[in-house]
């Protein structure tokens, strides 16, 4: 049973380009969380999605950031017109359900904006 798969592991983008980060949850998991981690800092909640629904996006910047979790395929975190401040590690976690379930993290995507 594969764990949470994130790709790419490393992503370099020039300022102004778009970054697409993908997350395939564990088999049987329908809940996905995205977190951002700056160097030497903790994990900051960004967005929580279920299949085809955004449940909580209170941690997402209002502009340039969007997330989706379609019925088929991975969850996508999209950052448009990236800036240097977007450079961070982005982690995805998945869980089987909302209550009484554990969340498991992927290895992360390290985004570098040059």
Partner 1 sequence: QQQVKQSPQSLIVQKGGISIINCAYENTAFDYFPWYQQFPGKGPALLIAIRPDVSEKKEGRFTISFNKSAKQFSLHIMDSQPGDSATYFCAARSASGTYKYIFGTGTRLKVLA
Which of 14-22, 66-74, 75-83, 96-104 is the region at the interface with partner 1 (rule: CB under 8 A)? 96-104
**For residues 14-73, which are near partner 1 according to CB under 8 A?**
31, 33, 35, 41-45, 48, 55-56, 58-59
106 binds partner 1 (CB under 8 A): yes
**Least spacing, CB of residue 15 vs partner 1, in Å:** 25
Report the distance separating Cα 101 and Cα 113, nearest Å: 35
How far is Cα of residue 100 from the mean position of the Cα atoms in its chain? 22
What would the two tokens of residue 26 be?
């564990």
For partner 1 (CB under 8 A), the number of binding residues is 26
| CB-count burial class (<10 Å; 0-12, 13-18, 19+) for 39 | exposed
What would the two tokens of residue 81 be?
């017109």
**Least spacing, CB of residue 10 vs partner 1, in Å:** 10
């Amino acid at each position: 049973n594969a764990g949470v798969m994130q790709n790419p592991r490393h992503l370099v983008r020039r300022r102004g380009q778009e970054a697409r980060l993908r997350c395939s949850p564990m088999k049987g998991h329908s809940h996905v969380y995205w977190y951002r981690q700056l160097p030497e800092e903790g994990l900051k909640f960004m967005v929580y999605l279920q299949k085809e629904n955004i449940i909580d996006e209170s941690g997402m910047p209002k502009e340039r950031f969007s997330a989706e979790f379609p019925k088929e395929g991975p969850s996508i975190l999209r950052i448009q017109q990236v800036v240097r401040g977007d450079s961070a590690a982005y982690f995805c976690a998945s869980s089987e359900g909302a209550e009484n379930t554990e969340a498991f993290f992927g290895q992360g995507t390290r985004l570098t904006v040059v």
